[in-house]
Amino acid sequence: MRRPRDKRRLRWAVSWRAAGTAALAVSLVVGAVVLRSVALTPGSAVELPEPAPLATAGSGATDAPRPTASAGPGLVVVHVVGAVAGPGVVRLPVGSRVLDAVAAAGGATGDADLARLNLARPLVDGEQVVVPRPGDPDAAPEGTPAGGPAGPLDLNTATPAQLDELPGVGPVLAQRIVARRPFRSVDELDEVSGVGPTLLERLRPLVRV
């Protein structure tokens, strides 16, 4: 027979084992509840950076270069020589006057004889503007391109190339003048398409019949 002391030890051992088992069970239950709670708790939202806005057609960074409204006014090219500070070739807008060409060439020098020059005359593309000095011989008629004919051209015998050298007359107009022959007077140039009153007056001292 077991002694009473042994029986008490056995009961205590059984009690501790039961208590340990119960504690373990409680721990497992609590752990399961905690895990379930964590799983069901919504996580904190992660804020993603907003994508950069796409460049629109109106943004300055992507604007395509816009064509200009126009290429600018036409130009006339003239050769300014004589009593000017900077003789040479100058380019000026169409409609410019002789005084503009003189100014573009640095202005007249102190010994220039401007009274012999029509400063208000419109420039002709390709002409030579001679600013004279006192005692200089008279230059070719104003408006004659550099290297132009020395005397009046005969409208009935001049070649198209010679007519092309006249101020305001290009190759097309030169052919029209040749096709209009014969001329009985310089005034009949007005009947040629492209020759108006202004050009006729400019050509009058440069041509003859």
The residues facing 31 across adjacent strands are none
Q: Which pLDDT does position 29 carry in this prediction?
A: 62
Which residues contact residue 19 at a Cβ distance below 8 angstroms, ignoring those fewer than 6 apart? none
Asked whether residue 16 is domain-assigned, the answer is: no
Beta-carbon contacts of residue 121 (< 8 Å; ≥ 6 apart):
97, 98, 142, 143
Most confident range (mean pLDDT) of 25-34, 85-94, 146-155 is 85-94
What is residue 144's predicted lDDT score, i.e. its pLDDT? 47
Strands 88-93 and 75-82: antiparallel
| In a shared domain, residues 126 and 170 | no
Residue 166 lies in a domain: yes
- pLDDT band for position 186 (cuts 50, 70, 90): very high
Supply the pLDDT for residue 108: 95
How far are the Cα atoms of 6, 15, 23, 28, 29 from residue 20, in angstroms, in the given order? 21, 9, 5, 12, 14
CATH of the domain at 181: 1.10.150.320
Q: In whole angstroms, give the CA distance from residue 185 to residue 167.
A: 19
Q: How far apart (Å, rounded) are the C-alpha atoms in residues 101 and 129? A: 8
Q: What beta strand segments (E) does the chain contain?
A: 75-82, 88-93, 128-131, 153-154, 207-208
Neighbours of 179 (CB within 10 A): 9
What pLDDT, in 10s, does the model give residues 42-96?
544 445 555 555 544 444 444 444 443 333 468 889 999 999 999 999 999 999 9
Domain boundary among 101, 131, 161: 131
- Residue 113 belongs to some domain of the structure: yes
Residues 170 and 201 occupy one common structural domain: yes
Q: Phi then psi for 89, rounded to 5 degrees?
A: -85, 130
125-138 b/e with 16+ CB inside 10 Å = b?
Answer: bbbbbbbbeeeeee
Give domain status of residue 123, yes or no: yes
Instruction: For residue 184, name the pLDDT band (cuts at 50, 70, 90).
Output: very high
- Domain residues for the domain of 203 are 153-208
Over residues 108-133, the pLDDT tens digits come to 999 999 988 899 998 988 888 999 99
pLDDT at 170: 85
Q: Is 186 within 8 Å of 205 (Cβ atoms)?
A: no
Do 130 and 137 form a contact (C-beta atoms < 8 A)?
no
Over range 198-206, report the average pLDDT: 90
140 within some domain:
no
